[in-house]
Structure 1
Amino acid sequence: MGYYLMKFFSWVACRFSMEKCNSFGKVLGKLTWIVVPKKRKFMAYDNIIRCLGVDAGEAERIAKASWVQFGPMLMEVLRYPELIKDDYIKKYVTIDGLEYLQEAIDNKQGAVIATSHSDSWELMGAALAQYGVPLVGVAKKQKDSAMDRFINEYRTLVGMHITYTNGVREMFKMIKEGWMIGLITDQDPLWSDGVVLDFFNRKTNCFVGPASIARTQKAPIFHGQIVHRPDGGHHITIYPPIFVDQTKDKKEDIKKATQQIANLLENHIRTHPEDWFWLHDRWKSVREKGLD
């Protein structure tokens, strides 16, 4: 039932313009902000103050804006059937650095694209696929099977190949075939899946997946981010490739590349603080270890 309800919502959203849907999405985001648990909000405020050095009022503004953007992102996903018509998505989402990906594509070289929960990250994957990037979206299986079916159907609709986070063998196979593996790298990983690095001058458990895959496959890592444009659209920036060292010290090679990714993400967040999802408990694992 849930799947068909989402399809109905998508049909309705496709009857309206992107501007009207975005306006409704912002209202939806503001309304749902009211029910976000206070404990979660205060955790976000504290992290924003510690990371950015702002006052309490500015921290609250940034946290709220970070949450509200979920509404427009939902509307964009619901409108995928319209966004892919007549190359509209290429007007709605522009890209700098596409030439870095294109060079790898031309050389039939697989790669890793490392990004974050910033701005409309779902739309970023859709846009890259529509621009011709052979993209594998690595998804976490949703607990709600209806939502899982819907979101992965729509991700496939826009041109992405979807695999779940446990599909490592499939990722290795596809990267060898020239596909680019899209990984969202900014959440707090399991202790066994991370390495403690410097992030906002804090000890932070950072996900090593991109560097580990890239080193094993001798593939480049492209860091990419999406931001809002003043006209209501979005802009993606793809950074020059990061190549993981191939020394005898595998752990150090992975750690070095992962720190490079963390540095790029930190710079991005400092420039666009409202776009990053601060409501995630990013430092939970190091706090539990007594390191934060």
Structure 2
Amino acid sequence: MLARRLSWRLEAAVAWLLIGLFRRLGPVRSSNLCGGLCRRLGPLLPVSRVADRNLRLALPELDDRARRAVVRGVWENLGRTVGEFPHLAAIVRDGRDAPGDGAGWSVVGDEVLERQVAAGGPALFVSGHLGNWEMLPPTVAAFGIRFSSFYRAAGNPVIDRMIRALRDRAMGAPERPPVPLFAKGARGARDALAHVRGGGSLGLLVDQKMNDGMEARFFGHPAMTAPALAAMALRYRCPVIPGRIERLAPARFRLVVEPPIPLPDTGDRREDERLLTQAVNDRLEEWIRARPESWLWLHRRWPKALYRRLEQDRYPD
């Protein structure tokens, strides 16, 4: 146990040094530094083969060269997201809706958020790991909607506290109390349900595989998808608001908010959940197709059988 605590502190010390370096560089230069490093080194890592397989499944029209370009873009975006993370609180709305020098963000669809503020009550914000997804909570909070989310704690508790402190600061701490975060799992799901029932807003990234989820189509293939969003939305008839962060330049973003997805009402709750889950997947697919390099293709999204079949087709006996 002592060795583990010492290891945690050593890892945390390295993390603090990196955060200090990024802060000295500023958001644009730290974004460029991390983006450039990851663009060069990331494609060499074994996990990049997962991204290539995903692209062959989802976008078979891309040739080898195009897939390699997307994978490089994925790593660059991930690196930039890491480099920008210590600066979340300093990247503020400036209204410039075009690439340019300096950090900042603009918004398309602000009327959707303003209507939700006026209406009050619970709302579910749905997105995926696109652009700098860490910018979603602070940008939406600028309109007066501080949504909670599910959270997987870092293995090192010291680093976990550092990460949460940076996120809390981006959401207005210490002037405003921290936004509740819910651990992934049964207890977290119950707490999130109570939060929505009490009128709170919740943000969900629903683009990763959930083995015990609901099957829905994604890029034409069956994909197990978390059903919690559809279940909560239909139970409380609260709006499901799609939104994403588009990267315009280093540390420069556009928050795109779309009108709420219509809630199905067939009289069959299970069918309604399926229809809503599919509608969310369709929206995510539309966004990813438009900017494939902005999505995190590095996780296995589809069933293992599809990957096995893909390799058999590529290397037949």
Q: What percentage of residue pairs aligned between the two structures are identical?
A: 21
- In the other structure, the counterpart of 2:66 is 58
Matched, 1:145 2:157: yes
The secondary structure found in structure 1 opposite 2:25 is: coil
Is the CA contact 1:129–1:158 (under 8 Å) kept in the aligned structure 2? no
Report how far residue 81 of structure 1 moved. Answer: 4.5
Matched, 1:259 2:259: no
Q: 1:127 to 1:3 in 2, by over 3 A?
A: farther
Is the CA contact 1:67–1:279 (under 8 Å) kept in the aligned structure 2? no
Matched, 1:106 2:115: no
Q: 1:182 to 1:289 in 2, by over 3 A?
A: farther
Q: 2:254 aligns with which of 213, 217, 235?
A: 235
Matched, 1:212 2:224: no
CA distance in 2, matches of 1:179, 1:57: 46
Matched, 1:94 2:142: no
Q: 1:280 aligns with which of 282, 296, 299?
A: 299
Q: 2:245 aligns with which of 226, 233, 251?
A: 226
Structure 2 residue runs without a partner (length 5+): 1-8, 97-102, 172-178, 312-317
Is the CA contact 1:49–1:56 (under 8 Å) kept in the aligned structure 2? no
- In the other structure, the counterpart of 2:264 is 245
CA distance in 2, matches of 1:139, 1:5: 23
Q: 1:20 aligns with which of 20, 29, 37?
A: 29
The secondary structure found in structure 2 opposite 1:69 is: helix
Matched, 1:83 2:104: no
Is the CA contact 2:91–2:105 (under 8 Å) kept in the aligned structure 1? no
CA distance in 1, matches of 2:95, 2:249: 16
Cα deviation per residue 1:202-247 (whole Å; 9 max; x = unaligned)? 1222221211111122211111111111575111211111243344
The secondary structure found in structure 2 opposite 1:14 is: helix
- In the other structure, the counterpart of 2:203 is 182
What is the root-mean-square deviation in Å for CA atoms of aligned residues?
2.7
Q: 1:173 to 1:67 in 2, by over 3 A?
A: same
CA distance in 2, matches of 1:50, 1:6: 36
TM-score, reference length from structure 2: 0.81
Q: 1:68 aligns with which of 49, 70, 76?
A: 76
CA distance in 2, matches of 1:154, 1:118: 20
Q: 1:201 to 1:8 in 2, by over 3 A?
A: same
CA distance in 2, matches of 1:163, 1:205: 21
Report how far residue 51 of structure 1 moved. Answer: 1.9
Equivalent residue letter for 2:51 = A
CA distance in 1, matches of 2:236, 2:253: 32
Structure 1 consecutive aligned stretches of length 4 or more whose deviation exceeds 6 Å: 88-91, 288-292
Report how far residue 79 of structure 1 moved. Answer: 1.8
CA distance in 2, matches of 1:70, 1:248: 42
CA distance in 1, matches of 2:170, 2:110: 18
- In the other structure, the counterpart of 1:41 is 48
Q: 1:208 to 1:252 in 2, by over 3 A?
A: same
Cα deviation per residue 1:234-291 (whole Å; 9 max; x = unaligned)? 1121111124334441110000011111111111111001001111111135649999
Is the CA contact 1:196–1:204 (under 8 Å) kept in the aligned structure 2? yes
Q: 1:162 to 1:286 in 2, by over 3 A?
A: farther
Q: 1:230 to 1:67 in 2, by over 3 A?
A: closer
CA distance in 1, matches of 2:204, 2:44: 30
The secondary structure found in structure 2 opposite 1:79 is: helix
Q: 1:126 to 1:6 in 2, by over 3 A?
A: farther
Equivalent residue letter for 1:130 = A
CA distance in 2, matches of 1:291, 1:256: 28
Equivalent residue letter for 1:48 = L
CA distance in 2, matches of 1:238, 1:66: 23
Report how far residue 62 of structure 1 moved. Answer: 0.3
